[in-house]
Structure 1
């Protein structure tokens, strides 16, 4: 995330006033919504200017009234520049409204734009200038129908209402943009968590495939190698080796199917799944190794084999399977002793020694 992205939600109006696709150095392009808002503010400023102009015609000469109308029209037209220079336009229009009451509506519209688009410090400064301007206007261009104190109070109250309204709009935009940013961040974090979960699942499946299939494939390799180097072996020995190869291939396919089943959708489960290995299946593991030609001695001394948790029994089976597989690979022909001891409270000890 760039520096502009991190702080953009603090000034959402800046993002609205300066689209990302605007070329650098050029004024921002208005959207349809911007055109509608600017037109509405122009019409409101012109409406208040016409009301003030009628009062000016009654209290001043035709020349002064005509000059006020020209100044008020120029102030209303200046509102079209407020998106590029909101503070500058507001200061100029507010100062002009001090001497030309017809520009009062444009001054309020410019002040509203500053409250919406600029931080509180700049808004407070421009608001103070507006209060001073409205107060000075009471004495420079007094209205006989209003008491000076009442005119000052009305000017201050109207200024504060406009500023409060603009700051409310600004706060709402900030809140909406903050919620959008939070939603984008939550979506990105969810994507990262999903990717991490997939990576961990792939690693777990890879480890499980290594532990399960290495034993079966080693049996296949040993007997296939024996058949390759002993083509003149007795038929009984060849049949025995072929049977072990067939059984090992079948077991490997079953284990592979069981592992791949983890990747199925939740509703794709089928019955008849192979049970997970436990301590009770150590005997069959040793028997398979003996059929492959290994000399294996099993020494299992457990006080309560049935009380061993399934997860612990499965872990013991995998450790023994890996040890026998390594012994068959790297030390063929040597005797292997598999020792499993333990009792409740002391834990289990698994030892594979050759």
Structure 2
């Protein structure tokens, strides 16, 4: 299979210049050979000399078709070279074109055919004053040089194309990495907004609901609830400013809590009216990585208990040791009153499970006891 196929495209200005230069070069080689033949005086029969010149002219003109049918043209010129010496220049150009535009196997086939034609030429038109073997070697060397040059040009073109494709692929991969980094940053920001603001806003919701359902409460209770709402709103606004700062700076610059802040977290919930107990069994300070994740577990569990189990008792337990891991468990009893509907229920636990998984930990959640709920996580604690 030669791989011959018509290539239909407009010639560029560069193509016209190259084709014209090759045509002129092939014609010049043919004229030089004619001149040498006349000068030597060893003229062939007149009819053969005329046929030789006509073949050389047709071969040069046929070079304008080399881009469309390079292999077919090379085969035709190789066959003509079995009796015509004036077609040599056109044959070299055709062999070069095949090597540039077709696979190496096809170029080697055309080269082999031209070598066989050279043997036939030496048999039917022997030179009286020259060595036929030497002339065949000279012609074969020139033909092989044309093919070798064409293969070199093809290799250079393929290499340049490969480099262009590699550069385009690298640019596309860089764009995809940038999009992935942006997506991860947005997810991190969404988690921070949910974790930070969800806790504050749930406190506001609890106290606002108390004011709504107990308009006849004592003035001290109303004043205390209003104070908590004001403090929670102020804290939520401050947290919102910090989260928005992430949009203008790397995510890692957001102030991150540690496990030591769990005491403040439970204290805030207790001031909001929740019944919260905290027990710790930690022989050493917890590293920031697992401690931060544990804080988010407790924060999400308290927020969910406040939303879905109003009036329930909540117990927070922290235990573990270096090398054994850090265990976090938050359980709450059944709700003492109807829970208001919560939009997007379950999204917090999904994000929390992803956060724990990224920390190479495990998260469990589900019913506990009589109508209660349990959230437990285990996180690695390096020794």
Q: Same fold by TM (over 0.5)?
A: yes
Give the structure 1 partner of residue 359 of structure 2.
Answer: none
Give the structure 2 partner of residue 157 of structure 1.
Answer: 141
Residues 1:45 and 2:29 aligned together: no
SS in 1 for 2:330: strand
Total equivalences in the alignment: 327
In 1, distance between residues paired with 2:130 and 2:230? Answer: 109
Give the structure 2 partner of residue 112 of structure 1.
Answer: 96
Does structure 1 conserve the Cα–Cα contact (< 8 Å) formed by 2:197 and 2:240? yes
In 2, distance between residues paired with 1:144 and 1:48? Answer: 22
1:1-354 matched pairs, under 5 angstroms: 18=7, 27-57=8-38, 58-60=41-43, 64-265=48-249, 275-304=255-284, 307-354=285-332
Shift of 1:148: 1.6
Superposition misfits of 4+ residues, deviation over 6 angstroms:
none
Does structure 2 conserve the Cα–Cα contact (< 8 Å) formed by 1:53 and 1:65? no
SS in 2 for 1:300: strand
Shift of 1:64: 4.6
CA spacing shift, 1:244–1:127, aligned 2, 3 Å? same
SS in 2 for 1:264: coil
Shift of 1:110: 0.7
RCO comparison, higher one (Cα < 8 Å, 6+): 1
Does structure 2 conserve the Cα–Cα contact (< 8 Å) formed by 1:53 and 1:68? no
Does structure 1 conserve the Cα–Cα contact (< 8 Å) formed by 2:81 and 2:114? no
SS in 2 for 1:99: coil
SS in 2 for 1:95: helix
Instruction: Give the TM-score normalised by structure 2.
Output: 0.78
In 2, distance between residues paired with 1:89 and 1:241? Answer: 96
Give the structure 2 partner of residue 21 of structure 1.
Answer: none
Q: Which runs of 5+ in 1 are unaligned?
A: 1-10, 19-26
Shift of 1:189: 2.3
Shift of 1:339: 1.9
CA spacing shift, 1:343–1:128, aligned 2, 3 Å? closer
Instruction: Give the TM-score normalised by structure 1.
Output: 0.84
Does structure 2 conserve the Cα–Cα contact (< 8 Å) formed by 1:135 and 1:155? no
Deviations 1:67-126 (A, max 9, x none): 433321111000001111111111111211222211110011111111111112221111
Shift of 1:284: 1.4
Does structure 1 conserve the Cα–Cα contact (< 8 Å) formed by 2:246 and 2:254? no
